[in-house]
Amino acid sequence: MPKHYRVRNWKEYNEALVKRGSITFWFDEAVIKQWQGSRVKNKRGRPRKFSDEAIICGLTMKAVFRLSFRATQGFISSLVNCLKLKMAVPDYTLLCKRQKGLLVRLPKKSIRDKAGIDIVVDTTGLKVFGEGEWKVRQQGYVKHRLWRKLHLAVNSQSQEIESYELTDLGVQDSEGFNLLLKSLESPINKAIGDGTYDRFSCYEEASRRKFRLVTPPQRNARTSEERKDNKKKASFEAVQRRDETIREVREQGRAHWKIKAGYHRRSLAETAIYRIKNILGSQLSTKLFEHQKTEVAIWCRAINKMTSLGMPKTITL
């Protein structure tokens, strides 16, 4: 029978959803003081007129309201005029150029636990440019589409995005898994992913960083003892851990093993992907890869800001 859930904090969660659509703006005093750029010591050239905080502010408004660069300049100018602030506004060309190499940190509401966190990982595709599905179905291709892969690691407790990576379409999910772990600051207790992460490289990284990897093996998976003629070049710990998972699935059954191992928490990563695409879109607006990385970072930063406003607390009936 399907499970039924009840939201325990519906009033607070409903208010948080309303706040996501609020257009009440103000500029924090700290942001106003840091709006202008400062000269960097021992660096040649003219100092930057605007700080990184000002550029991040403009790019965030562009992403949340799905504006073009020119419309973003006009939007910020109108806000500055309404608030009667005496500060300059970066133009649209500067907003575009400063995306390259911009350092964007993800806001984290939850306090990092020294004991470690549980993460769920998943991957999705983002379209860069190309024709719509209806036009392709009716008239065929005229120009080739281009896609990128977005790899996400989500905190299963707070549902915040802990790390992200944007790669080419040819990068496998298991390769993106190792990239995600490099940018994680907190210690990890458990990582949950689908069957695409059933690779020895993922198990090796889990054994090296001493956390448990929960991923279902292939249905025709064999232990190292059963494939003596086809040895994999992997560490002993990685091979041993995968063999243990295969035996557990055989003994308990795949459905029961998923419940016992907490595998279904992986759906939180799919929820985070849905949240990004539903609120911010599924198509990147910039063409250069370095700019696209910054655009995705702004997306994840905005989603974490919205998540911090409030999330539902549910119970199973």
**pLDDT value at residue 95:** 94
Amino acid present at 303:
I
Mention every residue, 6+ apart, whose C-beta is less than 8 A from residue 129: 145, 146, 283, 287
Beta strands 117-129 and 188-192, pairing class: parallel
Which has the higher per-residue pLDDT, 242 or 145?
Answer: 242
List, for residues 209-226, the tens digit of each pLDDT value. Answer: 999 999 999 988 888 888
At 196, is the pLDDT very low, low, confident or very high (cuts 50, 70, 90)?
very high
pLDDT of 143 over the 70 cut = no
Contact 310, 18 (CB under 8 A): no
- Cβ neighbour number for residue 10 with a 10 Å cutoff: 12
**pLDDT value at residue 1:** 44
What tokens does 54 get?
A: 């000002």
pLDDT of 111 over the 60 cut = no
Rounded Cα distance, 271 and 239, in Å: 32
List, for residues 6-62, the tens digit of each pLDDT value. Answer: 778 888 888 888 877 777 777 778 778 888 876 666 666 677 788 899 999 999 999
Model confidence, pTM: 0.85
**pLDDT value at residue 104:** 92
Domains in the chain (CATH in brackets) are 23-98 (no CATH), 117-271 (3.30.420)
List, for residues 266-296, the tens digit of each pLDDT value. Answer: 999 999 999 999 999 999 999 899 999 999 9
